[in-house]
Structure 1
Amino acid sequence: MKVAYFTNDQVPQFSKEKTVVIIFSEFAQLEKSEENFDCIIVADSKIENTIKIIEKIRKNIQFYLLPIFTNIENAEQLLSICDGDITRESWDVLVKKAQAINELRSLLVLPTVPFDLDTKVLQYTFTRENIIITPRLDWQTKALYVYPLLKILAVKTNDDLALLKNLQDRNLIEKETLHDRLHCCSKCHYAHINYIDTCPSCHSINIKEVDFLHCFTCGHVAAQDDFTRGNRLKCPRCQAVLRHIGSDYDRPIENYHCLDCEDNFSEAEVIAKCLMCQHSNTLDRLVSQPIYSYKMTELGRLSTANNSIADMYNVFDILNYLTPQHFNQQLNWILQLAERHLEINFGILAFDIIGLDIFVQKEGRYAGHMLLEECTERIRQTIRTTDFTTRTSENRLWLLAPQTSAEGSQLLGKRLRAIADLTQQHDGIKLTFNIIVLFSGDISLKDETAETLIMKINEDLDAWRD
């Protein structure tokens, strides 16, 4: 076991004879070292220094997955970014932890250049089995909560909630525990809200709570102070003496008075004013934001271990999606209809999405997923609600367009190609859709089935790809 040890004090004796300890005082020394370490211990006597060193390690592409242990007692804030505390656990236990992490780390394709945060989060979570990505309350942040693991792995400022939602949408992580539910400004989505009671008539905040009385004799309603005459109650309008509540007077439901418009009311109108952008929200316009902890799914573990981008194509499975089996049934049905009824026609389009792997290598997985989401939305706007889609491999999509002419089918193919062209980046990288368009009038319908038709199109697409 080779240990990098950061300390400003004496190094303790380790129980294992085969443990090699190399002392560092600054992170720059570790960066220059050519040793391959099995774990890192950060044992500075000041927690501020410990946090700074750990942050540099976790942000560094070379060391961020290494096991880190600390000797700071009662440092709960370090638990989500470290792997153990040498003041609480024996060295033998920590060695077993380090070995387990390094064994999983050896299964990954480790990067040599900086890459996107979601991959770092997935790889870190993969190497720590049963780890939970947990939020921590932080009033200085936009959402009032931060995820320490994401914060320490990130090289630049990042929207934690958006990244976690992205990973969840791809089924790579799943919700574990609901910690809180925030209400955020509908304009800027900040969770710093001030709730203000206002007048329902003029919306002024210049209101006060008042005890009102209602005279049964004349019906006059006013503040209790207006009825008080010495040590008795007397109506200021009809001069009736009010002795018994329920027979002479009662207390109306109104208990607020507006000092601007003089209106009396029973319930104030609550306005939620954002302390960031000053926007005034009604309560029903506030955006609900649940705060969860998360854990990795089995698909997430498999995708991370294989360094696969297959999960990213799942965004297309919401476009009037049918399973391949049901898509074939629908295609068989319309083939039979078209054979019997000349007025029935349809178009079928199949296309491969080419270039996502190159885009992800250049721009990162998160950017790749956002690009596919944009493509999905544009395709959604292009197809009709009566059209059906399916996916027979990770990047091969099918579209069945009932009652579509030959011209309409070609126009649809042209619009799909235009969507791919819109993905071009400033450096020329873009997605390509290899599209085959077929019209029912060009298909020999006699004895044709969905299976045989799809097999022919698959062969043409495979030949195109080769």
Structure 2
Amino acid sequence: MTSYRFAVIGTPHCEDLGATDRFEHSTHLLKSGIDYDAVIVSGDAESDPAELERLRRTSTYALKPLFTSKSAKGVAAALSDGAAPESIKALEEICRSYAERLSMFNRGRPPLGLEAKVLAYLWMRGSEKVLAVRDAAAPQFYQYPLIDALADEPVNAAVWLQGLAQRGLLHTDHLIDRIRLCSHCGSGRLNYIDVCVECQSMEIRRQPSLHCFTCGHVGHQEQFLKDGTLVCPNCMTRLRHIGTDYDRPLENYHCNNCSAFFVDADVEARCLDCGTHHTPDQLHVREIRDYALTESGMLACRQGLDQTNLNYFGQLSMVGATSFKVLLDWQLELIQRHKAPSFVLLGVRFRNLAQTLARLGEQRGHALLDTLVERMQEAIRDTDRCTRTSEEHLWLLLMHTDQQGIDRVSQRLEKLSTLFVGDELQDIALSQVACVAPRDVVSEENAELLLARLTGEL
């Protein structure tokens, strides 16, 4: 049985952890040279996120479980695994689970580089996220402490995470904030000021005006006041009734620089860091979100980040999900216009495949995948194309195939069910759904909608 070692930085939060080693600061722990399986930052040390950050920046504790003694917020929440469990047994179970998942990451290869380390961190923790933390001192007001800690050199974390999201490895749950940044230096420290619509001067003020109906003169309200009555300074007509003799124009702003009148001032954004002047539409808009692994991300973590060599299903003329959707959209457009060529989109779902592979372990799980791919190669042609949208969902685009053709393919795929026998494999269930074009194509339906409709039937 594996023996685990734990350490506490600060004051222990409960007596059940009395068997752990204790250190006053993280620097003392690092100098000890001992490789602990988990660390709890507690007591006075818990209020200092630098303790967690110092540990995360090391290669030893970059991915290991780091806890706080109570529910954390802000930077501490972004860098830690939350509140520590109350017993040694629970800690051991977490360490065992993390170690098992890390052994399956990227087919056992150690995570090297920022991308691999971030994906491994999320893979080991399942539903955890890369959290955005508000920081008024930061030029862009938000930071991703985990990315900053795991990166070997400075990186624009927001842009870097968006890149992984565009590749389908990460996804976002909800919008936290939307900020506007200087288009020159990228700073979010902006000052919004009202300026004249004519000369862009800041020397403007709100000033009530009057409009004489007799001569059409528009001027400041003070110019019309004479001996307690309203008199037009241009034609000297006495203004008695509003709406009949005069009215108040909408132009309530006056520029002291060019004497222009206008309804609403223009808004100008001035960067407080570099001094660049912008109109609001020239600013860069950035959405702030938390990030988590997508199904495709989890699939990459399991099968290997180098998809060209380590993707088992790559032997089946596999293409990326985005490329597959582009290809499918093209075929749907041809169907809409020319009613040809005929094709079949076949969806195959292996229910509980991921859980079964995890239960079988690395060696037996890969052996099952080898056999599965070999059988599927017998059912499809070299000209067909495939993609996976999750660990359980496989999609096949079978060109120039009709109902009879898909029936034959389905029968061959049904034989795969013979692989899933025995107590260890009985949880895997194979289901199929097919769309035969042009017969089953819905008008104005694109690839995204078609895949979503068929996924619901699976």
Equivalent residue, structure 1, for 2:263: 266
Structure 2 unaligned blocks of 5 or more: 310-317, 335-383, 388-458
1:174–1:295 contact (8 Å) kept in structure 2: yes
Equivalent residue, structure 2, for 1:52: 50
Equivalent residue, structure 1, for 2:26: 27
Instruction: Report the CA distance shift for 1:166/1:314 in structure 2 as closer, same or farther (over 3 A).
Output: farther
Q: Distance in 2 between matches of 1:210 and 1:54?
A: 57
Equivalent residue, structure 1, for 2:243: 246
Equivalent residue, structure 1, for 2:65: 67
Q: Secondary structure at the match of 2:198?
A: coil
Task: Report deviation, 1:220.
Answer: 1.7
Equivalent residue, structure 2, for 1:14: 16
1:118–1:163 contact (8 Å) kept in structure 2: no
Q: Which residues of 2 match residues 454-465 of structure 1 at below 5 A?
A: none
Equivalent residue, structure 1, for 2:401: none
Give 1:247's aligned amino acid. T
Q: Secondary structure at the match of 1:183?
A: strand
Picking from 199, 212, 217, the partner of 1:220 is 217
TM-score (norm 1): 0.61
Equivalent residue, structure 2, for 1:163: 160
Picking from 277, 287, 290, the partner of 1:280 is 277
Equivalent residue, structure 2, for 1:183: 180
Instruction: Report the CA distance shift for 1:281/1:134 in structure 2 as closer, same or farther (over 3 A).
Output: same
Q: Secondary structure at the match of 1:122?
A: helix
Q: Which residues of 2 match residues 433-448 of structure 1 at below 5 A?
A: none
The answer to whether the aligner puts 1:122 opposite 2:124 as a matched pair is: no
Q: Distance in 2 between matches of 1:101 and 1:230?
A: 87
1:61–1:111 contact (8 Å) kept in structure 2: no
Deviations 1:208-259 (A, max 9, x none): 1110001122222111111123433222223322222111210012111111
Q: Distance in 1 between matches of 2:69 and 2:324?
A: 53
The answer to whether the aligner puts 1:37 opposite 2:39 as a matched pair is: no
The answer to whether the aligner puts 1:90 opposite 2:86 as a matched pair is: yes
1:6–1:44 contact (8 Å) kept in structure 2: no
Q: Distance in 2 between matches of 1:25 and 1:166?
A: 39
Q: Distance in 2 between matches of 1:214 and 1:168?
A: 57
Task: Report deviation, 1:74.
Answer: 5.9
Deviations 1:15-60 (A, max 9, x none): 7xxx8412223434433546453311112414454x2221111111
Q: Distance in 2 between matches of 1:76 and 1:96?
A: 26
Q: Distance in 2 between matches of 1:260 and 1:117?
A: 54
Q: Distance in 2 between matches of 1:35 and 1:186?
A: 48
Task: Report deviation, 1:262.
Answer: 1.1
Picking from 225, 234, 246, the partner of 2:231 is 234
Equivalent residue, structure 2, for 1:137: 134
Deviations 1:55-103 (A, max 9, x none): 11111111221111122566454222211324xx533655544443333
Q: Distance in 2 between matches of 1:157 and 1:146?
A: 12
The answer to whether the aligner puts 1:292 opposite 2:282 as a matched pair is: no
Equivalent residue, structure 1, for 2:414: none
The answer to whether the aligner puts 1:255 opposite 2:252 as a matched pair is: yes
Q: Distance in 2 between matches of 1:316 and 1:175?
A: 18
2:13–2:69 contact (8 Å) kept in structure 1: no
2:224–2:233 contact (8 Å) kept in structure 1: yes
Give 1:90's aligned amino acid. E
Instruction: Report the CA distance shift for 1:10/1:267 in structure 2 as closer, same or farther (over 3 A).
Output: closer
1:58–1:64 contact (8 Å) kept in structure 2: yes
The answer to whether the aligner puts 1:4 opposite 2:6 as a matched pair is: yes
1:303–1:311 contact (8 Å) kept in structure 2: no
1:212–1:251 contact (8 Å) kept in structure 2: yes
Q: Distance in 2 between matches of 1:144 and 1:10?
A: 34
Instruction: Report the CA distance shift for 1:57/1:74 in structure 2 as closer, same or farther (over 3 A).
Output: closer
Give 1:60's aligned amino acid. T
% identical aligned pairs: 31
Q: Distance in 2 between matches of 1:218 and 1:117?
A: 73
Deviations 1:288-331 (A, max 9, x none): 222222210122123223442228998997799758x98xx9xx
Task: Report deviation, 1:11.
Answer: 7.2
Q: Secondary structure at the match of 1:80?
A: helix
Deviations 1:317-371 (A, max 9, x none): 7799758x98xx9xxxxxxxxxxxxxxxxxxxxxxxxxxxxxxxxxxxxxxxxxx
Instruction: Report the CA distance shift for 1:190/1:314 in structure 2 as closer, same or farther (over 3 A).
Output: farther
Q: State how many pairs are aligned.
A: 327
Equivalent residue, structure 2, for 1:78: 76
Give 1:198's aligned amino acid. V
Q: CA RMSD in A?
A: 3.8
Deviations 1:383-440 (A, max 9, x none): xxxxxxx9999xxxxxxxxxxxxxxxxxxxxxxxxxxxxxxxxxxxxxxxxxxxxxxx
Give 2:56's aligned amino acid. R
1:193–1:272 contact (8 Å) kept in structure 2: yes
Instruction: Report the CA distance shift for 1:61/1:163 in structure 2 as closer, same or farther (over 3 A).
Output: same
TM-score (norm 2): 0.62
